[in-house]
């Protein structure tokens, strides 16, 4: 990953933290100052989806052209995506506790997100259960594609169709309605970009470690 992208990630996130708390936000009932959680909780999910998408693309590429590298990319992007997803769920529970009244409201998006994470956790269980390297890579590549395909309706479609507490779902106005003067967008968009870049950075570190270990293993066998 190019160094300037890593520097950019750091700068964007520094900006997010500083501006996120010092800039003005709309004065809204119920959420009050916690609206600022938008700059942290929501980008976790954007980041997760992007990382899972990259992982799925590598899984598709693996099936067409099997290689250890592609399998490594697929699994480590899924790993880091899962990390962001878990952070998203926990931060959401904290936020929900103080605005909706309880950490788990049974909100469709909460449930959909939790199910998606379970589906991805099963991906890692699957990987752990197969001994043969090639078989493992192939099975998990196929499962990964299904997991991503399942996540889309769970997180994006179903919540919008049923009654939900999340903004933008179930008849609730999206956040656009509250951010009328785009004050929040000024921080939100850079935040999303920054957190995604950070997620990619972490994934690439994990990938590099795996590839190094594989190289060492291969050289020991020569």
Partner 1 sequence: MFAPILLNAQPIEMADTMRSEGKIYVVVAILLVIFVGLIGYLVFLDRKITRIEKKLPEKKS
Closest approach of Cβ 29 to partner 1, in Å? 6
Question: How far is residue 95's CA from residue 126's CA, in Å, rounded to a whole number?
Answer: 32
Long-range contacts of 175-182 (CB under 8 A, 24+ apart): 175/38, 178/26, 178/28, 178/35, 179/26, 180/26
Total count of residues recorded for the chain = 222
Give the one residue of 90, 176, 177, 185 binding partner 1; rule: CB under 8 A: 177
91 to 130: interface string for partner 1, x by CB under 8 A: --------x-------------------------------
Q: Which stretch binds partner 1 (CB under 8 A): 57-65, 149-157, 182-190, 207-215?
A: 207-215
The token duo for 37 is 């959680």
7 versus 161: smaller Cβ distance to partner 1: 7
What DSSP state is assigned to residue 31?
T
Long-range contacts of 213-216 (CB under 8 A, 24+ apart): 214/68, 214/72
8 Å CB contact between 81 and 199: yes
Question: How far is residue 222's CA from residue 211's CA, in Å, rounded to a whole number?
Answer: 17
Question: Residue 170 contacts by C-beta under 8 Å, 6 or more apart in sequence?
Answer: 108, 159, 160, 161, 162, 163, 164
Q: Which stretch binds partner 1 (CB under 8 A): 47-55, 69-77, 140-148, 166-174?
A: 166-174
Closest approach of Cβ 216 to partner 1, in Å? 7
* Degrees to nearest 5, angle at CA 63 with 62 and 68: 35
Q: Does 210 bind partner 1 (CB under 8 A)?
A: no
Q: Does 205 bind partner 1 (CB under 8 A)?
A: yes
Q: Does 201 bind partner 1 (CB under 8 A)?
A: yes
Q: Which of 192, 30, 31, 167 has the alpha carbon at shortest distance from 107? A: 167
Closest approach of Cβ 222 to partner 1, in Å? 8
Q: Does 28 bind partner 1 (CB under 8 A)?
A: yes
Closest approach of Cβ 26 to partner 1, in Å? 9
Q: Does 216 bind partner 1 (CB under 8 A)?
A: yes
Q: Which residues bind partner 1 (CB under 8 A)?
A: 6, 10, 13-14, 17-18, 21-22, 27-33, 99, 167, 172-173, 177-178, 201-202, 205, 208-209, 212, 215-216, 219, 222
């Amino acid at each position: 990953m190019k160094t300037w992208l890593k520097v950019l990630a750091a700068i964007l996130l520094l900006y997010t933290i500083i501006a996120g708390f010092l800039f003005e936000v709309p004065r809204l009932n119920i959420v009050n100052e916690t609206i600022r959680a938008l700059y942290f909780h929501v980008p976790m999910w954007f980041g997760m989806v992007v990382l899972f998408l990259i992982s799925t693309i590598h899984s598709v590429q693996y099936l067409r052209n099997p290689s250890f590298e592609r399998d490594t990319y697929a699994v480590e992007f899924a790993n880091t995506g899962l990390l962001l997803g878990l952070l998203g769920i926990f931060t959401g529970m904290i936020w929900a506790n103080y605005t909706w009244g309880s950490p788990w409201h049974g909100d469709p998006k909460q449930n959909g997100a939790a199910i998606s994470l379970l589906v991805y956790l099963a991906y890692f269980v699957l990987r752990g259960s197969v001994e043969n390297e090639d078989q493992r890579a192939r099975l998990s590549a196929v499962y990964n594609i299904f997991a991503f395909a399942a996540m889309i309706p769970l997180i994006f479609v179903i919540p919008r169709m049923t009654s939900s507490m999340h903004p933008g779902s179930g008849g609730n106005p999206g956040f656009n309605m509250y951010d009328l003067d785009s004050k929040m967008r000024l921080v939100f968009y850079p935040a999303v970009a920054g957190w995604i870049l950070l997620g990619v950075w972490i994934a690439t570190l994990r990938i590099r470690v795996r590839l190094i270990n594989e190289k060492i293993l291969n050289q020991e066998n020569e």
